[in-house]
C-alpha cells in the first residue's frame, strides 16, 4: 500500500516548471565545493526575501520539489538559508539546523534562543529508522525550593510587571548542545557551514520590521534594565531602534563564531558558560558551572502509534497525539465527513481532543497518573464507548494556557532523510528577566513551571510535550508536521486528520478549519471560520460554542508547518502557516 495525495496531479504539474533562477548558480557548483554564505547568493536574492520578513497573515504558496523541501513557521530568509544547505548537498538535518539558527537571529532572540531548547524527530534513510532527540531544559541542581521561584506577571492578569533581578527563573539551556549532537549524527556539511547564514545577518544586519519594533516597545522596560541587553536594541545615540533601522548583532556573531571554532563546549564549559553563570547568579540565580557541565543531550525512542495503516512517530513525552489518534481511529470519525462541513464530526472531534487533554484519569496535564495508557488501543476504545454513553465526561474548567514562544521547521532532502524540529524559549517574548549574555537572550522559563520543576527534581530533564512528528507508510516516510502555539496537540491532530483521512495537501491541511484549544468550560470558534449552520448544528447537539474575533482566537490556537512525499512520484510537497513570516520552499 502507498500514499498518494489526491492533489498529486496538480502539484506534479507545478513541478514541471523550470527551477527558480536563484538555484542555478548553486546547483552548478562543483561537488564538494560548499559555502552557505548569503554573500554568495545571486544578486538581488536577499532583497527579494527581506520583504517577506514582514509578510504576516499573507497566503503562503504550496512548495514543491523533486529533491528537497523545507517549511518553517518563522522567517522566510531562514527557510531560504535552509534550502541552500540542501541544494549544496546537505541533509534534512543540515537544512533544519541552518534554518533554526537563522530563526533565532531574525527574531533577535525574542521567541527562540541559543539558550533555549530543541526537540527533533528524524528519519534516517540509511538505517530506515526514526530517532528522537531531546535537548530540553534541565532543572538547576541547587534549586531546593521551586515553589518560591518568582512568578511571571502574565500568570497574574492585571498585575503590572516590574523589571528586576529574576535569576532563579533561568533553567539550564539545551539548544546549542542539541544542535551540535544532531549535526554530528545526521549532518553532512561541515559544522561551520550551518552557522554562516546566521553569522552573516548578525554582522551585516537587516532592517527592523514593524512587528519586531512593536515587540521591543512592548518589552522596553525589561530590555532597558541591563546595559548589555539594551545595547542589542539601541543605536549609537542610545535610542531604541525603530522599524526600518539596520539592526546588527555583533555580540551574537562573536559567540556563534566561537561555537564554530570550539564546538558547543564553548557554551557549556568555556567562556560563555562562565559569563552566563556570573550574570544569572548576579540576578539571584542558583545555576553553577556544574549545571552546564552536567548537561547531556538525550536520544530516546520516539513515541509511536499506528493509525489506519500509518506509523506515527513523535516526541517521547507527547502523550496527547497518540491519545487523539487512537480515539479518532476507534470513532472512525472520518466516515461522518469533514469537521468543516459536518456538525457531528466537529462535535466529536472537539469532544475527543478535550478528553485527551482533561480526562480525569488519563489527562495529559501534569498530575495525570496514567498518561502512558493513551498509547493503548483498548483503552482508547473503552474511552470512546464511555464518551458515547456519557458515562465519563472530560472537563477543563479554569484551565488557561501558559506561554510557549516557539519556531518550527520540517525538511526532506534528496537522500530521503526527513527532519521535524521544534525549538523554543518556552516563555513570553524575551521573558521578564531582560538578560542577554554575549548576544544570547536568556529565557526565564521557570517563571510559570514551579510545580513541574518540583515534580521533576533538581538537575534533571524537564519533560517537553512539543510534537514534532514524522509519519511512515509501509516503512517509508510520507509526512512530517511541526506545530507551535497554545494548542499544539489540537493542531497536530487536525493536520494529520486532514492529511491521512482526507488526502489533503499540506497547505490545505493547515488552512482547513482552524481548531481552537479547549480552555475553560466551553468551545470556541473564530468568527467566519465555520458556517453559521455548522455552529448551530453543533450547539443543537449540546455543545456550548462561543464565536470569538480573530484577536481573541489567537490565545487558543496553534499553527503548523507540514510536508508530504508522494510515494508514486517521489515529489516533495510543503506548506506553512500564513499567520507568521515563514514559508515553504522546494527545488
Distance CA 501, CA 274 (A): 52
Look at the alpha carbons of 467, 422, 488, 307 in this order and tell me if their dihedral is positive or negative: negative
Range of weakest confidence among 61-75, 263-277, 375-389: 375-389
Distance CA 485, CA 483 (A): 7
pLDDT averaged over every residue in the chain: 88
Residue 286 pLDDT exceeds 60: yes
Kindly indicate the confidence band of residue 3, based on its pLDDT and cuts at 50, 70 and 90: very low
Distances (CA, A) of 199 to 184, 190, 193: 20, 15, 10
Residue 371 pLDDT exceeds 60: no
Distance CA 425, CA 405 (A): 6
At 146, is the secondary structure helix, strand, or coil?
helix
Distance CA 153, CA 161 (A): 5
CA 161, distance to chain mean position in Å, is 27
Distance CA 344, CA 543 (A): 11
The predicted model gives 150-177 an average pLDDT of 82
144 exposure class (CB count in 10 Å sphere: 0-12, 13-18, 19+): exposed
Distance CA 293, CA 271 (A): 13
Which of 193-202, 212-221, 542-551, 559-568 reaches the highest mean pLDDT? 193-202
The number of helix segments (H) and strand segments (E) in the chain equals: 22, 20
Strand partners, 206: 247
Length of the chain equals 587
Per-residue model confidence (pLDDT) at position 375 = 79
> In this predicted model, what pLDDT tens digit does every residue of 116-133 receive, in sequence order?
999 999 999 999 999 999
> φ, ψ for residue 132 (rounded to 5)?
-125, 125
Distance CA 153, CA 429 (A): 13
Per-residue model confidence (pLDDT) at position 206 = 97
Residue 521 pLDDT exceeds 60: yes
Distance from the first to the final alpha carbon of the chain: 27
CA 406, distance to chain mean position in Å, is 5
Q: Give start and end residues of each alpha helix (H) in 21-90.
A: 24-28, 45-49, 76-87
Tell me the whole-structure pTM to 2 decimals.
Answer: 0.91
Residue 481 pLDDT exceeds 80: yes
Per-residue model confidence (pLDDT) at position 5 = 46
Residue 490 pLDDT exceeds 70: yes
> In this predicted model, what pLDDT tens digit does every residue of 187-227 receive, in sequence order?
999 999 999 999 999 999 999 999 999 999 999 999 999 99
Q: Give start and end residues of each alpha helix (H) in 44-156.
A: 45-49, 76-87, 92-106
Identify the DSSP state of 410: E
Residue 10 pLDDT exceeds 80: no
Kindly indicate the confidence band of residue 9, based on its pLDDT and cuts at 50, 70 and 90: very low
> φ, ψ for residue 135 (rounded to 5)?
-120, 55
Distance CA 505, CA 5 (A): 6
The predicted model gives 131-159 an average pLDDT of 88
For residues 100 and 421, the answer to whether their CB atoms sit within 8 Å is yes
Residue 555 pLDDT exceeds 90: no
List strands edge to edge, sheet with 117-124.
Answer: 298-300, 129-135, 117-124, 418-424, 406-412, 69-72, 583-586
For residues 357 and 364, the answer to whether their CB atoms sit within 8 Å is yes
Kindly indicate the confidence band of residue 400, based on its pLDDT and cuts at 50, 70 and 90: very low
Amino acid at each position: 500500500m502507498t500514499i498518494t495525495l489526491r492533489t498529486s496531479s496538480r502539484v506534479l504539474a507545478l513541478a514541471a516548471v523550470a527551477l527558480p533562477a536563484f538555484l542555478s548558480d548553486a546547483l552548478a557548483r562543483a561537488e564538494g565545493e560548499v559555502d552557505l554564505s548569503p554573500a554568495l547568493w545571486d544578486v538581488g536574492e536577499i532583497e527579494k526575501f527581506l520583504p517577506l520578513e514582514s509578510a504576516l497573515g499573507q497566503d503562503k504558496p504550496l512548495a514543491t520539489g523533486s529533491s528537497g523541501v523545507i517549511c518553517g513557521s518563522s522567517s522566510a530568509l531562514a527557510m531560504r538559508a535552509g534550502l541552500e544547505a540542501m541544494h549544496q548537498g546537505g541533509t534534512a538535518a543540515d537544512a533544519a539546523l541552518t534554518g533554526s539558527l537563522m530563526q533565532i537571529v531574525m527574531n533577535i532572540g525574542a521567541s527562540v534562543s541559543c539558550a533555549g531548547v530543541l526537540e527533533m524527530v528524524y528519519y534516517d534513510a540509511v538505517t530506515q529508522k526514526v530517532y528522537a532527540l531531546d535537548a530540553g531544559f534541565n532543572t538547576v541542581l541547587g534549586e531546593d525550593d521551586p515553589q518560591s521561584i518568582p512568578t511571571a506577571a502574565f500568570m497574574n492578569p492585571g498585575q503590572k510587571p516590574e523589571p528586576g533581578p529574576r535569576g532563579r527563573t533561568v533553567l539550564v539551556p539545551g539548544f546549542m548542545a542539541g544542535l551540535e549532537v544532531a549535526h554530528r549524527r545526521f549532518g553532512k556539511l561541515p559544522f561551520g557551514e550551518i552557522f554562516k547564514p546566521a553569522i552573516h545577518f548578525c554582522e551585516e544586519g537587516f532592517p527592523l520590521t514593524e512587528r519586531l519594533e512593536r515587540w521591543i516597545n512592548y518589552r522596553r522596560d525589561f530590555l532597558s534594565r541591563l546595559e548589555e541587553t539594551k545595547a542589542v536594541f539601541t543605536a549609537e545615540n542610545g535610542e531604541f531602534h525603530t522599524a526600518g533601522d539596520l539592526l546588527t548583532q555583533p555580540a551574537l556573531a562573536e559567540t556563534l563564531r566561537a561555537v564554530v571554532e570550539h564546538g558547543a563546549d564553548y557554551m557549556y564549559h568555556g567562556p560563555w558558560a562562565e559569563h552566563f553563570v556570573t550574570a544569572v547568579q548576579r540576578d539571584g540565580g542558583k545555576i553553577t558551572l556544574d549545571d552546564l557541565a552536567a548537561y547531556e543531550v538525550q536520544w530516546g525512542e520516539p513515541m509511536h502509534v499506528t493509525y489506519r495503516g500509518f506509523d506515527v512517530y513523535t516526541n517521547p513525552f507527547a502523550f496527547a497525539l497518540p491519545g487523539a489518534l487512537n480515539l479518532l481511529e476507534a470513532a472512525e470519525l472520518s466516515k461522518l465527513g469533514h469537521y468543516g462541513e459536518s456538525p457531528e464530526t466537529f462535535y466529536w472531534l472537539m469532544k475527543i481532543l478535550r478528553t485527551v487533554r482533561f480526562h480525569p484519569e488519563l489527562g495529559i496535564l501534569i498530575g495525570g497518573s496514567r498518561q502512558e495508557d493513551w498509547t493503548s488501543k483498548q483503552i482508547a476504545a473503552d474511552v470512546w464507548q464511555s464518551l458515547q454513553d456519557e458515562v465519563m465526561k472530560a472537563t477543563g474548567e479554569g484551565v488557561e494556557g501558559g506561554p510557549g514562544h516557539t519556531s518550527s521547521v520540517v525538511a526532506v532532502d534528496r537522500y530521503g532523510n526527513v527532519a521535524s524540529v521544534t525549538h523554543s524559549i518556552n516563555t513570553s517574548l524575551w521573558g521578564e528577566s531582560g538578560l542577554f549574555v554575549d548576544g544570547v537572550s536568556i529565557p526565564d522559563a521557570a517563571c510559570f513551571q514551579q510545580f513541574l520543576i518540583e515534580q521533576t527534581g533538581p538537575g534533571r530533564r524537564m519533560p517537553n510535550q512539543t510534537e514534532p512528528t514524522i509519519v511512515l507508510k509501509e516503512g517509508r516516510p510520507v509526512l512530517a508536521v511541526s506545530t507551535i502555539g497554545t494548542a499544539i496537540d489540537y493542531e497536530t491532530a487536525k493536520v494529520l486528520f486532514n492529511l491521512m483521512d482526507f488526502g489533503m495537501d499540506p497547505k490545505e491541511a493547515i488552512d482547513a478549519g482552524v481548531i481552537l484549544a479547549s480552555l475553560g468550560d466551553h468551545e470556541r470558534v473564530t468568527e467566519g471560520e465555520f458556517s453559521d449552520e455548522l455552529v448551530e448544528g453543533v450547539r443543537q447537539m449540546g455543545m456550548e460554542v462561543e464565536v470569538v474575533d480573530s484577536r481573541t482566537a489567537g490565545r487558543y490556537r496553534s499553527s503548523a508547518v507540514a510536508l508530504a512525499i508522494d510515494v508514486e512520484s517521489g515529489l516533495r510537497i510543503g506548506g506553512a502557516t500564513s499567520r507568521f513570516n515563514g514559508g515553504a520552499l522546494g527545488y
